[in-house]
Structure 1
Amino acid sequence: MDFSTRHRLTLADGPVVYRQVTTGKPPLLLIHGWGGSSRHWQHTAEHLSDIRDLYALDLPGHGDTPARPGATGPETLADLVIDFADRLGLDRFDLNGHSWGAGVAILVAARRPERVDRLMLTSLGIARNALERLALTQTYHQMNLALSLWRPWLAMSRPWIALSRPAIDWFGAQPLVYRAIAAHVLRQLPADEETVRVGVREFLSTDPLSALECAIGAGSPAFLTALETMATPTLLVHADADPVMPPSGAHALAARIRNVREVCLDDCGHLPMIEQPEAYHRAIREFLTTTALDPRSSTHPDAR
């Protein structure tokens, strides 16, 4: 089945658009990051469809999934992913999230540990010390309060923003524009610039209110609470030249995960599945095809 084909499924809170490639193998759910879409996992379908059935959804306000009228914080999105799996009849599955999507994946694994066999976190980090955690938490509460006041007004602007989409598409298709935007997240542009052009166009077309909710939600203390109880075998993949999530934040995250294997990719930025698809998916494949890690162990590169 062609991974580029988009499917539509109606969940409890509205429709969701997703891509899939299925041949009767164990399922792997894929959650994209902030401003992204299911299209980011195209290379994953090319590299892993021989060992996994793949399901990649567009989160609300991203890609082709419409924004929701209500709030879509991290806990709401975790419930959406679980509902998505339920509607597809997936009782157990592996789960891979990128950046913001990796945070949502943590909440899914912590809330429903009996459903998630293996967890992969791509390009994610957390606050590195108590001072950073305090600042992030305070900012989260203040911004969340402000958003609750501004949400009705921002929601009313959605029809007007939709009318500007053709202009946004034209603007994002200009080489100087999409190369400049991509340079802020990628270490090096891939040879296929069409992937970059489409990715930037989707980024610019993300629903502003949904994007703002995700950005604020990244500071939610729910993530650290979830990490305290989560015991799912986990692979953390990050990159040494990630300008969004630096390695120090990834190391801090790994230190809080009970059962983790950590892989760092050299000379790579924030989107390893696009920038270094061979190396990235080699690490994912190895993790998926090995036996579950001992829940009491934590394996890091310097100890391997």
Structure 2
Amino acid sequence: MTKIKYEASNPAGGPTVILGSSLGTDRFMWREQVRLLPRAWNVVAFDLRGHGASPLSLETPSVDDFADDVIAVADELGVDRFVFCGLSIGGVIGQNLGARYPDRVSSLVLASTGLTILSKQALVERAQRVLEEGTAWIADVSAPRWFTERFRTEHPEIVEAKMDHLRRMDPRGYADACLALAGFEGHDAAASITVPTLVLSGEDDVATPPAGSAELAAAIPGAELRSLPGCAHLCNVEQPELFTESVQRHVDTNH
């Protein structure tokens, strides 16, 4: 099994919240959540295969493989049940975990995600282009999709750091994640999720539009939907206080 890089803030604490990052980022996208969530909690952030400090997969992974990696991290930490909070592909991984591991996941927060992300054809074409040309071109077009114009103007250093990471990452790691997403269709998974679920969307998100978040929330029995104002795809970075407050309230209510 691929050895996943992760950091845990308080391994002896509880509850445990595992944070799943978006396509083309690493565990440091959760820096503000690690800082703002209660110190008594065990907050775990990890790098997807082929992202950050986690190695490439030996073979093209599936969403099942990404979800199994989360279970392996929890097992290594000795954590039986945990909250999973995932954004974008992290939210897809969360859907998979909720459907396949109801005995391990106590509740879910699914942010900036949907039953599908883009179309299968678009994802396959993106993977092929990244393998042929590298990731610089995707970094060039991602900033206005990840962040609102206001945030890009007010925090150019944060935006550039994210884009620089994307430019430098291994193209195969990015392409692998695209192909995993291309193989995912969430309707069956969503219908079988029984744990308390919060779906979060940025009201200005063009990458995973709010309508897709609403569709996801409607497909999960009893799910709560919340829109976060003034943010795009990386809503946890643009609105860290609102995002973290939403997660904390959800966990406090359902723990």
TM-score past 0.5 threshold: yes
- Rg larger in 1 or in 2? 1
Contact 2:124 2:178 in 1 (8 A): no
Q: CA deviation at 1:20?
A: 2.1
Q: Describe the superposition over 1:122-178 as per-residue Cα deviations: whole angstroms up to 9, x where unpaired.
A: 1112359xxx9xxx46x48x949xx8xx8xxx6xx9xxx8xxxxxx9xx89xxxx98
Alignment match of 2:163 (pick from 194, 200, 204): 200
Tell me which residue corresponds to 1:295. none
CA distance in 1, matches of 2:91, 2:142: 22
Tell me which residue corresponds to 2:250. 287
Q: CA deviation at 1:79?
A: 1.1
Aligned residues: 248
Alignment match of 1:62 (pick from 48, 51, 62): 51
Which consecutive unaligned segments of at least 5 residues does structure 1 have? 1-12, 162-167, 293-304
Tell me which residue corresponds to 1:16. 4
2:20 is the alignment partner of 1:34: no
Structure 1 moving runs of 4+ over 3 Å: 177-181, 190-194
Contact 2:115 2:186 in 1 (8 A): no
Q: CA deviation at 1:82?
A: 0.9
Tell me which residue corresponds to 2:197. 234
In structure 2, give the amino acid aligned to 1:247. P
Alignment match of 1:186 (pick from 147, 164, 172): 147
Query: Please, what is the CA RMSD of the aligned residues?
Result: 2.9
Alignment match of 1:78 (pick from 24, 43, 67): 67
CA distance in 2, matches of 1:110, 1:178: 32
> TM (normalized to structure 2)?
0.86
> TM (normalized to structure 1)?
0.73
Q: CA deviation at 1:36?
A: 0.9
Tell me which residue corresponds to 1:223. 186
CA distance in 1, matches of 2:116, 2:47: 27
Alignment match of 1:269 (pick from 220, 232, 235): 232
CA distance in 2, matches of 1:127, 1:68: 22
Tell me which residue corresponds to 2:87. 98
Contact 2:63 2:184 in 1 (8 A): no
Tell me which residue corresponds to 2:14. 25
Structure 1 vs Structure 2: percent identity of aligned residues?
A: 26
Tell me which residue corresponds to 2:42. 53
Alignment match of 1:213 (pick from 176, 179, 200): 176
Q: Describe the superposition over 1:96-145 as per-residue Cα deviations: whole angstroms up to 9, x where unpaired.
A: 001011101111121110111110001112359xxx9xxx46x48x949x
Contact 1:31 1:98 in 2 (8 A): yes
Contact 1:183 1:189 in 2 (8 A): no
Q: CA deviation at 1:290?
A: 1.1
Q: Describe the superposition over 1:55-96 as per-residue Cα deviations: whole angstroms up to 9, x where unpaired.
A: 111011111112122121211111111111111111111110
In structure 1, give the amino acid aligned to 2:90. G
Contact 2:143 2:159 in 1 (8 A): yes
Contact 2:145 2:232 in 1 (8 A): no
